[in-house]
Structure 1
Amino acid sequence: MPLLVMKFGGTSVADLDRIKNAAAKVRREVERGYDVIVIVSAMSGKTNELVGWVEETSPLYDAREYDAVVSSGENVTAGLMALTLQEMDVPARSWQGWQVPINTTSAHAAARFVDIPRANIDQKFAEGMKVAVVAGFQGLSPEGRITTLGRGGSDTTAVAFAAAFEAERCDIYTDVDGVYTTDPRISAKARKLDRIAFEEMLELASLGAKVLQTRSVELAMRYKVKLRVLSSFEDTDENSGTIVCDEEDIMESKVVSGVAYSRDEAKMTLVTVEDRPGIAAAIFGPLAEAGVNVDMIVQNISERDYEGHTGAVTDMTFSCPVNQVARARKAMEEARASGAIAYDDLVEDTDVAKVSVVGIGMRSHAGVAARMFQALAADGINIKVITTSEIKISVLIDRKYMELAVQALHDAFELEKAG
């Protein structure tokens, strides 16, 4: 039988009625002749509740026990989905991570896949099972302990199963009906894309688009898994949603495919750092050890050079999530106290946002940056930091201008128009 992987997120299985709705979509695919592997998330809000219980019980918790507790949400959903399908006369059974087994590393709360043996599930398909309902987000460490994959891990689980079982397609059911040119809540002109390249989706996911988890897109790109994003709340057919696929499979040739944003960013600047080989490593090594997720990095000539000071100095600016500012400050203060680095001041700006344009067409088209900067200038939006890659341009701006910037860029690149 051809095989399909279907993943349902937390909002899609938030209560028993929604589980029934999701199960009906699974039954329809079975009736079309597919064997189906269903990956489920915990019911909406349950993971946060479980995490809260752990933190209330033990602020300095054992990560192994954290995983044991937090993974239970997916187990409940998997069992309820299997029972619902059985009530619909669909041969189904639930699988927890250790039963497959989903083999992972030992990094609790941030485990990575090692392999997914097919034998157990393949045997049950051969015996007449039509649907394997697998608890997402979890696996089994080499030590035999339950692990979890980090937030959004159920998307990654779905893609990993699609790769391991050579599925025809991996359908990600969520609360939106596809991938849009930008957030429809910000721009009424946002257009649903029929197809988007893996690289574009990876950039959009990493830049703040919440549709797919970044690691799931990385995995899909590596193993050439055809992804489809579609709504669990609408009637769907083979043309529904957005296909995430290879660049060669896309007919549209827009220079820019989408505008992404990240609201909760911070900009930090180390003023007058010694300009010498190894200074970047001395700064970003401690930040990495402290778990600070550094994004944009800019090094400038310091004003001190213009004031006649002796010795080469520089200013080092970087961005990070606003909730990691205290951690970053502590890491820098400790590095200065130890003598690893010296700086005059650490300037923090916690009221900024990142806005980005993404498109594989940038590789072969000039003038994208100029068009982007002109659009922002026309609306009086000042740019604080700029970074680029082959298929994206990101800017850091005052947070109060974020929505205006998204709308201006969406209009400037005429993303409401197809092709």
Structure 2
Amino acid sequence: MLQVNVLRQQTAWVKERLAVKNFKQPELVDEIIALDDERKKLQAAFDTIQSKINTASKEIGRLMGQGKKEEAEAAKAEVATNKTAVGELTEKMNSTEKTLQEKLLQLPNLPSATVPPGKSAEDNVVVRTGGSDVTLYEGAVPHWDLIEKYNIVDFETGSKVTGRGFPFYKGKGAKLQRSLIQYFLDYNTAAGYTEFIPPFMVNEASAYGTGQLPDKEGQMYHITADGFYLIPTSEVPVTNIYRDTIVKETELPVMMTAYSPCFRREAGSFGKDVRGLNRLHQFEKVEIVQITHPDKSYEAHTAMVEHIERLIQSLELPYRILHLCGGDMSFTSALTYDFEIFSAAQQRWLEVSSVSNFESYQTNRLKCRFKDASGKTQLTHSLNGSSLALPRILAGILENNQTATGIKIPFVLQPYFGAAELS
């Protein structure tokens, strides 16, 4: 959530940055400033009348002590009138504050100065590419044929038990999935990230804290009986560890990693671009999250991008890194780099990670702060990245490493999988 003082002090700049994100309601900024003006007026009136009540209340005691009953009764009447006025002001203040907060929640985060303009994915900028080109053998097929051939993922039973987009991984497919998760966690913890196993459901306050609500209600599974939400990523519970917390400056940066299943309602229609493992309602992912000093968040973002790049390189997959344009960024992000791997069998790029800096947008909602050297309380910055999302990584490994006799396992995974080939 943006801070009102930023909107007030840098109004023109805020509107310019919102335009980069293709935000269509710049007038909201002026409405919020006007509501904040009204809130301040109401607060000033409230303070003035409350001061009169306090003064008159003391005067009543003095008058009663002096036997001036008639004057004391007049003072009581004045206090009663002022208390009625205070009650009315309180209602107006609460209503104004509620409207102000609702409108603030409608504003997306401001894109950083480096974010390129653009309306859609076609306008994203390729930062760099890596990995070797893949030459497939003549009989190569897409991963949905490979998983059937090697009997490692069962979509049909998943559909029967739950619904479309909820696959069963089985046999060597389950083992390869588990191997990837363990390798990703080991890789992250070796780099200094503390591992967590978080709850896989969160309450409404947590969903608001990281910005899933009110922007993404339709994308999450809602457990209406208890008011919980199934998590779309472990970023949500892990970042919320620091909701309503003042962190010691010496503890920054906080570096966390977590594995979780992820639940997304918006998996979409099933066609050639979302077939097989390309898009699911439930999938597995390992996440990295950082809570940083505001002066260090862009340095941390660069380090996270490099960390994930080395991870993909270790899997021997061709990849590219995209700097997302304003129109393709998430509601909460100030800067996002996406990683995509190339599927030789599908002849298309598959997104496997997003690395984002949210600056203080999430931490303002979360009230995650620290005290600086002068004792002043400041908001931290938050960042997160996929390290990595499993389904498309698995699809890429299956497709790009297929041979006539089996599927070669990347060297770094062989100790986890226990073999050099899946056959």
* Larger strand fraction of residues: 1
* Larger helix fraction of residues: 2
- Using structure 1 for the length normalisation, give the TM-score: 0.23
- Using structure 2 for the length normalisation, give the TM-score: 0.23
Higher relative contact order (CA 8 A, sep 6+): 2
